[in-house]
Amino acid sequence: MFRFLTALLMACATLLVNPCAQAATAPAQKAVLVTGASSGLGRVMAEAMASKGYFVYAGARKDADLAELDAIENIQAVRLDVTQQDQIDAAVKTIREAGRGLYGLVNNAGVAVVAPLMDIDEEDFHYQMDANIYGVYRITRAFAPLIIEAKGRISIIGSISGTLSEATWGPYSMTKHAMEAFADALADEMKQFGVSVSLIQPGAYRSGIGKSALDRLEQQNQSAADSPFEEQMNASIDWLNRFEKDHGDPAEVAEAVMKSLFDDSPKPRYLIVPSQEQAYWTINRAIERMVEQNSDQKFSYDRAQLIEMLDAALAKQAGKSP
């Protein structure tokens, strides 16, 4: 925390001493860091932005992935495991010394562990939380001073699982619920620096996460046999096996990310789903939760009041006075 505050104060002091310095030296080509860019959504995002002329620092862990990314125009691969602080510190040093600054940060890296909450062991639980929660926290804290200097943007890859949760998906959904709170608080903190924060909420898109979840099950030699949750686990495994065939084009998610980074007025949330069904699941669950919260409590609102509140929220979203 001390290092973050020191870097932040230095960035703010530079702007106070010479507020025109940033505008005078700002590069024409905006630079963006994408974590977890070796495959899946992260790779698609990195390639899409690079193809449009943005400079992308693409975080990856394996030598082969780093070499592939480096071969793409407008991409510089950066060795970056979001669970390793030494790699994060080295990446900050590399990007700062490159002199381009950093306009955008896309917190994309993540993993999925599929297991009932009553069966998951602590090692798997930690693996899930370390990448998807602590990883986002580490990366954001480390790169925030660069983003603040650029008055840039931060995009966080959440999920419709931040709203939805069910048997065997509890550990993963917990991390995406956490991103809802993280994004809201971070947006409130960053607005004083002119930095916008957006949460991207994808549905089921071809991302490689299904295969990685299945690989984890195999590596850990985990089986649903003899578990009281065997039926639910088998259904989840079947769904993961069909993941890459049945789900949406990840280019749609990359497009939403670019809107959050480069549109004049970015939204705080981008729900992006490949089907009406997934949109219904998500929006309807949010409404159900609101009704559950409102029900049978001391300060409940009646139907007319709820509709009035909904109308005010819709008007605000449309940019009108409530």
What is the rounded CA–CA span in Å between residue 256 and residue 95? 25
Question: At residue 121, what are phi and psi to the nearest 5 degrees?
Answer: -85, 165
260 in Cβ contact with 200 (< 8 Å): yes
> Does 149 share its domain with 288?
no
> Does 62 share its domain with 181?
yes
> Does 176 share its domain with 293?
no
What is the rounded CA–CA span in Å between residue 124 and residue 291? 34
What is the rounded CA–CA span in Å between residue 274 and residue 283? 14
pLDDT, the chain, mean: 89
What tens digit of pLDDT does each residue of 211-222 get?
777 777 777 767
Mean pLDDT for 42-69 is: 97
pLDDT at 243: 65
Write down the catalytic residue from 172, 205, 280, 301: 172
> Does 58 share its domain with 116?
yes
> Does 298 share its domain with 270?
no
Mean pLDDT for 38-63 is: 96
Question: At residue 106, what are phi and psi to the nearest 5 degrees?
Answer: -115, 105
Checking if the pLDDT of 246 tops 70, the result is no
Which of the four pLDDT bands, split at 50, 70 and 90, describes residue 238? confident
Higher pLDDT, 318 or 283: 283
Checking if the pLDDT of 18 tops 80, the result is no
Surface-to-core class of residue 163, CB atoms within 10 Å of its CB (0-12 exposed, 13-18 middle, 19+ buried): buried
> Does 76 share its domain with 50?
yes
DSSP state of 282: H
The lowest-confidence range among 17-21, 177-181, 299-303 is 17-21
Query: Domain end: 274, 289, 307, which one?
Result: 274
Sheet bearing 104-107, strands edge to edge: 75-79, 55-60, 31-34, 104-107, 153-157, 196-202, 269-272
What is the rounded CA–CA span in Å between residue 112 and residue 115? 10
What is the rounded CA–CA span in Å between residue 278 and residue 275? 5
Mean pLDDT for 168-185 is: 97
Checking if the pLDDT of 31 tops 90, the result is yes
Mean pLDDT for 239-247 is: 72
Which of the four pLDDT bands, split at 50, 70 and 90, describes residue 322? very low
Mean pLDDT for 278-302 is: 96
Which of the four pLDDT bands, split at 50, 70 and 90, describes residue 27? low
> Does 38 share its domain with 117?
yes
Mean pLDDT for 302-317 is: 94
Checking if the pLDDT of 279 tops 60, the result is yes
Which of the four pLDDT bands, split at 50, 70 and 90, describes residue 245? low
> Does 218 share its domain with 308?
no
Is position 172 annotated as part of the catalytic site? yes
Which domain, by its residues, includes 185?
2-274
Question: What is the tally of structural domains in the chain?
Answer: 2
165 in Cβ contact with 208 (< 8 Å): no
pTM of the model: 0.87
Strand, coil or helix: 37:
coil
> Does 132 share its domain with 264?
yes
Checking if the pLDDT of 288 tops 80, the result is yes
Q: CATH number for the domain including 123?
A: 3.40.50.720
Question: At residue 298, what are phi and psi to the nearest 5 degrees?
Answer: -55, -35
pLDDT at 244: 61
To the nearest whole percent, how much of the chain has pLDDT over 70? 88
CA-wise closest residue to 33 among 220, 245, 257, 315: 257
> Does 125 share its domain with 61?
yes
Per DSSP bridges, beta strands 55-60 and 31-34 are: parallel
pLDDT at 207: 72
Higher pLDDT, 54 or 6: 54
> Does 118 share its domain with 185?
yes
Question: At residue 248, what are phi and psi to the nearest 5 degrees?
Answer: -75, 170
> What would you measure as the largest C-alpha separation in the chain, in angstroms?
67
Per DSSP bridges, beta strands 196-202 and 153-157 are: parallel
Amino acid found at 50: A
User: First and final CA of the chain: distance in angstroms?
Assistant: 40
What is the rounded CA–CA span in Å between residue 18 and residue 110? 39
> Does 294 share its domain with 258?
no
